[in-house]
Amino acid sequence: MTETRMVSYYFFEGEMARMERTIKRLWILCIVIFTAFVVSNLAWLRYEMQFEDIEVSQDVDTGDGAAYVAGVGDIYGTGETDG
C-alpha cells in the first residue's frame, strides 16, 4: 500500500522556482543549438559555392567509330602530338 506524504508549501514553491529556471535555461540552449545549426549550414553553403562546376569535353577520332570511356581503370594507348 502506498503512503502519501504532505509537502510543505514553502518547499513546493522552491522546487517550482528551480524547475522554471531549468526550463528557461533549456529554452536558451535550444535557441543556441538552432543558431549554431543554421550558421554551420550557411558556412558549408558558402564553402561549396566557391567552387565552379565545369564540363570538359574532348573530340576523339579512333578511326573505328565512337570511343567510349567508362571511367574505371587505366586507359592505355598511343598518343599523337604536334611537335
Higher pLDDT, 47 or 54: 47
Residue 83 reports pLDDT greater than 60: no
pLDDT at residue number 16: 95
- Structural domain that includes position 48: 7-57
Q: pTM of the entire structure?
A: 0.54
Look at residue 62 and tell me if it is in a domain: no
Residue 55 has pLDDT above 80, yes or no: no
State the Cα–Cα distance between residues 15 and 28, nearest whole angstrom.
20
Domain count, the chain: 1
Per-residue pLDDT reduced to its tens digit, 24-52: 999 999 999 999 999 999 999 999 999 88
For residue 77, being part of any structural domain is answered with: no
> Could you tell me the CA-to-CA distances from 18 to 8, 10, 67 in Å, in that order?
16, 13, 75
63 is a domain residue: no
DSSP state of 50: T
